[in-house]
Structure 1
Amino acid sequence: MEKMKLLDFIIEQYERSSKWDNETSGNASFRIEEKHYKIIGKSALIEEAKELENSDLLKIRWVKGYYNIDIEKVEYPLSNMAYFYQISKRKPKYIAVAEQKDMVMKYYLTFKKPWIRSYIESEVLPKLEKGDYEKKPEKMEQLYQCLSGLDRLESPIFKRVFSKRYLNNSKVFEKELQKKIIGIARKYGDFVEDTMDYSMEDSDVLNQLYIEEYSQELNIKGKLRIKVEGSLIDTGCFPYGTVLNSQTIKNAIILDNPQITKILTIENKANFTAEPMEEGTLIIFSHGYFSPLERNFLKELADNLSGQPVTYLHSGDLDFGGICIFRYIKKQIFPQVKPYRMDKDIFNKYKSFGEPIEEVKLEKLKKLEEPMLQELINLIIKTGLVIEQEAYL
């Protein structure tokens, strides 16, 4: 790393001031402190100041009684800033900010997804207006290449395939960008409800962006009629359930299913497996939050069933996460869904299996409102206990 010089400190002070946007009228000064001597070296700093003074670029004000020994401050006209940048081989801040604005707007005009546009409108552009810019422009370019790739995704893709395709390296997304992207998505994506307060796992957030760690699989149990590439499929012939992988979900055509009178989603795999097949009921393992691909498939199924009476139920953990997942399904997939085995009687029945709730989740739960589960929420707050579904087995 190149050693700091007096001009570097002068430039940094100028860039922190309100005059950073190429204001060159008037004068300014820079007060020398002991820390500057320590960083640059006292003799080197004094020598540099003298050279600049001899070139009529600044004026030295010596500490009284310490001429040629200790500098109080240096004074200079702001009209010299362009030359200071030139001899320091630094790009002026106003130019760097303008370049980044141009780059951001070039990408922004191509973006379609609301969460990405909101991030730029609400965060990036306001920061640039204030002069808060990325000091490493190559990192910013990399971020926008990533956002551009995410903006184009309409179907699931494996994480490393995405990284290779859009960032030219199979591991760079996970190592350098994943945390940043998840943070942006949590803040601006409507697929993460504000009331959830970061309750989704990182992998769930990535799934909402169509980024997969592994192939998505929708576990179902019950009779569902679909058509895939000309073949009629009736999942009712699998008494213990079956799995629809990503390609099947993506390419399936949902047929008429007059036999379905109830849809039950279950949060945990063990409970899904133990749930017996029931005539007229389609049981679905939610594994937490459904991905966009699964969500769209289930919304299409609900649309197909809209002309017939169907009961929608969800069964999940009696905790903060389980309540949030119920809210997600209600908001994003099945508006008519009602809680199942998530009430006061079930809580009291399995209370002996309860575990203490984490303090941070308890505080979040106190701010959560869900009329259909308010009785359960109040019980958890009162007892400080949460119960996982597996306790029922």
Structure 2
Amino acid sequence: MILCDFLIDQYERKTKWNNITEGNASFRIEEKYYKYLDKTSFLNQAKELESKKLLKIKWVSGYYNEDIEKLKYPLTSMKDFYRIANRKPKYEEIMEKKQEIIDLLQKVKTSWIREYLEKEVLKNLIDEKYLKKYKVNEAKDKKNTLLYQCLLGLDQLDSPIFKRVFSKRYLKNSKLFEKQLQSVVLRIARKYHDGVEEGMENSDVLFQLYIEEYSQELHIKGSLLIKADGITLDTGEYHYGTVLNSLTLKNAVILKNQKINKILTIENKANYMAEPYEAGTLVIFTHGYFTPLERDFLCCLKESLEDKPVTYLHSGDLDYGGVRIFQYIKSRIFPDLKPYKMDIETYNRYISCGEAIEERTLKKLKKCREPILQDVIDRIIETGLVIEQEAYL
């Protein structure tokens, strides 16, 4: 490190970092600085800068040419110090970063990404407290550049894509997203994406962003009339259930003349498998939270059934997660949804199979309000026990 770096660091730690070049500054020399630059070199560089009239040396009394007490310099010398140290002024770095985010915001349309950029990134580049502490960090800047590339890629997605395909396409490396950016993107999405619910697994969150770790598969049991590639299919012919993969969900057309009078969504797979086939009933495995593609498909199904009297039911765990999934389906897909085997009688019948709820989850449950399930919620809070659906089997 050269002496000019010390002078720049001192300058940028103060309020004068923002291109103020009027007045004078001083830098008191301490013994610890010789750890970074040997004393002889330190003294020689100070003398050289003094010979160029960029600063003045105040020597320790009685130790002329041996120990420096203080360096004094006009702030007009700062541009020379930056040039000698081959560094870009902090205010220029900040201006460039602000412009980068402004340019990025002009390209991005997705609301949760825009909200993050505006509320966290751009806000920091305006906040004086943040700017005083700001330091150039090449490794961090490089990661931020990758993050912005990633966010631009996410902004362009309108259909599911496998994680590694996304990473290769937008980051030029199939494993880069997972290794360096996934945790950051998950944090941002959990905070700003309105499709992300508290309690979602990481894979569920990624699904909301159209990032697939594996192919989306909607497990159904019962009659559903769809048409794909000119072929009409009635899934009711498969009494033990069938699976609609991502391509089917994306390309299939839901026909109007459905034979459905009841739709039952089930949270856990074992219970879904155990539910018997029943004419007129479509049973759907939720696997937790539905993905955007599944949600859009089921909303289209709901529209195709608007002229029919259909009962919508959901069966899930009698715990915080079960309540949240019920609310998610009710608010985003089937507004007339009612609970099935999620009542106080069912809870009391299987209470011997209950498991202790975690304290932090109990605190969340106490804040949860759902009129249709409130008696069960209150009972869980009272007993401190939750019941998983598998207990019914």
TM-score normalised by length of structure 1 = 0.91
Counterpart position of 1:75: 72
Partner Cα distance (2:194, 2:154) in 1: 15
1:1-393 → structure 2 map (5 Å cutoff): 4-62=1-59, 70-130=67-127, 131=131, 135-136=137-138, 137-193=141-197, 196=198, 199-393=199-393
The answer for unaligned runs of 5 or more in structure 1 is none
Question: What is the root-mean-square deviation of aligned Cα atoms in Å?
Answer: 2.2
Aligned partners of 1:204 and 1:291 also within 8 Å: yes
Structure 1 residue 133, shift from structure 2 partner: 7.8
Partner Cα distance (1:322, 1:185) in 2: 22
Deviations 1:173-219 (A, max 9, x none): 111111111111111100124xx2xx211111111111101111000
Structure 1 residue 93, shift from structure 2 partner: 1.6
**Identity of matched residues, %:** 62
Q: 1:343 to 1:30 in 2, by over 3 A?
A: farther
Partner Cα distance (1:134, 1:327) in 2: 45
Partner Cα distance (1:298, 1:21) in 2: 55
Structure 1 residue 363, shift from structure 2 partner: 2.4
Q: 1:286 to 1:76 in 2, by over 3 A?
A: same
Deviations 1:275-323 (A, max 9, x none): 1122221111000111110010011111111222222221111222222
Letter in 1 for 2:369: E
Partner Cα distance (1:27, 1:160) in 2: 55
Q: Structure 1 stretch 318-327 or stretch 155-164: which is displaced more?
A: 318-327
Structure 1 residue 72, shift from structure 2 partner: 4.5
Partner Cα distance (1:325, 1:385) in 2: 18
Q: How many residues align?
A: 386
Q: Structure 1 stretch 333-342 or stretch 111-120: which is displaced more?
A: 333-342
Structure 1 residue 74, shift from structure 2 partner: 2.9
Aligned partners of 1:299 and 1:333 also within 8 Å: yes
User: SS of the residue aligned with 1:129?
Assistant: coil
Q: Structure 1 stretch 97-106 or stretch 79-88: which is displaced more?
A: 97-106
Structure 1 residue 339, shift from structure 2 partner: 2.2
Partner Cα distance (1:294, 1:49) in 2: 69
User: SS of the residue aligned with 1:182?
Assistant: helix
Partner Cα distance (1:334, 1:134) in 2: 50
User: SS of the residue aligned with 2:18?
Assistant: coil
Structure 1 residue 101, shift from structure 2 partner: 2.4
Letter in 2 for 1:325: I
